[in-house]
A and B are shown apart, each in its own frame.
Chain A
């Protein structure tokens, strides 16, 4: 072996140096992974937030569509004239989460179903857009309607003729 190689063989990295460097490299990797995970959770968080916003927006949209009560008003001028009987009468003090049940100021609890007839029908009925009927039930609205069982709690409405807030109407 040449003298040059013999000398070179004696020059080498110490075990201490290797351990120190390995530790630094591992620390760097951990730090890098931490930053990566942080970014991932940030992206995931943003995606979740976007998804939640989208779901809420969609739900609101669907709900809004579903509770637009005026869509259910059918005006049939050829329908026979009849005197409407009113036994649901009062101002809404509380509306249920589904938007289709409410309590009146007289304490009567009313629930509106798919079968409940909304608005006024018959030859004397005004056009749909002129009827006193808001798209939703809300606190303060004046309600006039009919139920077959006034003692039931809640009373299922057969018909709701009026749903209107005279002070602050929404059409």
Chain B
């Protein structure tokens, strides 16, 4: 059976699907599109011949490919522009649904930065590497986002 960084296919799907779906949902604002994108990411992984050093390397690769697939999605004709975000996210508790418009109000790249930093715990340098942008840009963007989303990002909010 095929393994990547010592993990089997089903272990990879179980370990990383939530992260990849969250990234894709925040980019596309659409759950079914996010699922299609993540599925494409996994199929790209199956075709990948280059070995991964470890699980962190594999995770970073999956995140990077997910972002790139999302970018491709926006260039394609598949984009659904009219689906209201909260309609798609009915599984989110009503009192917390107010957070979504604030997050989705950010630029796509800023959404990725805030997720990778505040949820996944990546450093600015790691985010810069993942998104292939300047580390100072990540820092300044993070400061701006923190100001903008102060209420929802604060612990205990």
> Which residues of A are at the interface with B, using a C-beta cutoff of 8 A?
1-8, 10-13, 17-18, 20-22, 24-26, 28-29, 32
Which one of B9, B17, B89, B152 contacts A13 once the chains associate, using CB atoms below 8 Å?
Answer: B17
Chain B residues lying within 8 Å of A12, measured Cβ to Cβ, are: 17-18, 21-22
- In the complex, which residues of chain A have a beta carbon less than 8 angstroms from the beta carbon of B93? 10
Say which residue of A3, A11, A21 sits within 8 Å of B151 (CB atoms).
Answer: A3
Complex CA gap A26/B9 in Å reads 8
- CB-defined interface of B83-110 with A at 8 Å, one 1/0 digit per residue? 0000001011100100110010000000
Q: Is the CB of A8 within 8 A of B17?
A: no
Closest-by-CB residue of A relative to B93 is A10
Whether B2 is near chain A, meaning CB under 8 Å from some CB there, is yes
Partner of B35, one of A5, A10, A17: A17
- Whether B92 lies near A28 (C-beta < 8 A) is no
| B35 to A, closest residue via Cβ | A17
Secondary structure type dominating chain A contacts: helix
Q: How many A-B residue pairs have CB under 8 A?
A: 88
Contact at A25–B42, with CB atoms within 8 Å? yes
Q: Is A24 a contact of B153 with CB atoms below 8 Å?
A: no
> Taking CB as reference atom, which chain B residue is nearest A27?
B46
Does residue B14 face the partner (Cβ distance < 8 Å to A)? Answer: yes
Interface contact B118-A2, CB-CB below 8 Å:
yes
Query: Are A21 and B155 in contact (CB-based, < 8 A)?
Result: no
Verify A6–B25 contact, CB threshold 8 A.
no
CB closest chain-B residue, reference A20? B39
How many Å from the CB of B18 to the closest CB on chain A? Answer: 4
Asked whether, in the complex, the Cβ of A21 is within 8 Å of the Cβ of B119, the reply is no
Give 15 new A-B contacts, CB below 8 A, not counting A1-B156, A2-B156, A17-B17. A2-B118, A3-B151, A5-B119, A8-B22, A10-B92, A10-B93, A11-B92, A12-B18, A13-B17, A13-B21, A17-B21, A21-B17, A21-B38, A21-B42, A24-B42
